[in-house]
Structure 1
Amino acid sequence: VGGGSVSMACKTLAKLCRGQSAPGFESSAAALVTTPMVHRIVPLCKVGKDDTGSKLISLLQKSGQACGNVDTSIMEQASEIDTNARTALAVLPIYRDGRRGCFFDAASNTTFSPADMIEMLGALPDKQRHSAFLFGYPHLLPMMQGQRLVEIITAARKRLLDGGVVALDLNGVSPPAEEEMQMQDGLRNVESLKKDKIIGQALQHTDLLHMNHDELQILTGCKLQGTDDAESKDEELIVKASNLFLKCGVAVIAVTRGKKGSYIACNDAARLGASPAL
């Protein structure tokens, strides 16, 4: 798990996919969950020697103790390198209608570089091959966008078993410049999306792409009405807008819609076959 979303992602994965319980936790509620699926989760992020960083590491360590599968050693080692780093902090309100917001202090995410991430990936033990790389959120990591995001994904693939599965999670998406939004039939066209300055080049390298319906509208220009009467038309628009990402090379896209559930679409057999781990 790399990038800007490690706290929630790691804790959720730890609970859903526990490993071998740590000594003293064998009889805990977490230890009684189903058969282990993911035995090791490694958060890769830039934290500072500050209160927020200490709380984040402690949170992940406690998840690791209970679920037996979160390894914070690499992020702790990285925190010793840049003593001036500050830990980023996000507050994510969830509204009554299921939508969510994001209030974000970028802190050292503004200086978190591809070299930093690739160095962390290189610190993963060779004997412990990993199966997936979850990266979030490129729009909030200014040094990890465009071609540099591709470089990170490429480096991650080399550390994954059979190339693994690469997932890209979006949040904090800002509207592209007007000149970047080349429209066709009410939607951003495929070529324009491929040239998106932040994620465009990475789309063909992404196995799983997640965003919510607000982010889908921002990136594709689709206009959802959000009313019960317009639900059928909204669903059609979501399908058309999601297909743009499949045409850009994404293998699977998931669009969450709050209380209305989610929409998931897969690419063709050729694209799925290009990622053996899928």
Structure 2
Amino acid sequence: MAYLPISTPGEVGGPDGYSYSALVLLTDAADPAVLQRLLGVIRFTGWIAPVASGTQVVIGDPGAGVVAAERRGIIDVGGLVAERLECDALAVQVRRDRQLALVGWRGAEEIGRYDSDPSAEPGADDDVASEPVGVAFAPELAALARTPQAAERLTEILAEELERDSVSESERLRSILRLLTLPDWIVATGSLPADIPTGPRAADLTRLRVGMPGAAGLWRHLAVRRVRRRRTPPPVIADPPRESAPGMEGIEPWMF
């Protein structure tokens, strides 16, 4: 499978590339006002995009970091929103263009999660394996996006181990979003607070700072932002697979 390198404007997450995160609500029923109130309660920082084609996108700030109270990243926010609003949702997170995470819910039920490279997690041990985890989530993810016919192709994309020197996780994500007919402008959300290329204008988004719109949360945000940037959300995979030590294949832990 071949991908083309992608160049996405926005915040650089480190020497490797870009970091960004988004929550896609896959429903026509979610009330935008109720959503905003819920995000206010958890002191969410980021943007809410208008509803379009049956989806609503919530963008986290900063990138793949802590975006809400209690050390919540976009995945933790996604689980809470899906449960409280009783809707289908998909959380998307890209870290430094080296790690792609996808987590899906149907209301309170988490239906699966995918991590393209658990070894790229901040603080990961040296023996954590770099192979994708959660490829079997593909059929459920395709069904969640109302595109069950895409399951086979999606499985191939999720299973691919990318050539890190020439291909980014943003390119993989763009292929996934297009396949599932979801908003592919998510890969360019790092351009915020400027307009999103091929996406909605920044002026059309609702910006929240620690849960408050407009200038109300500006000063409070300055202090909270410093604290949150020193923290990281919980890992995508709590207990990731580990590499076997050389010559140790087939040896069970009880033998020691």
- Report if TM-score (shorter chain) is over 0.5: no
Larger helix share, 1 or 2: 1
* Higher CA-based Rg: 1
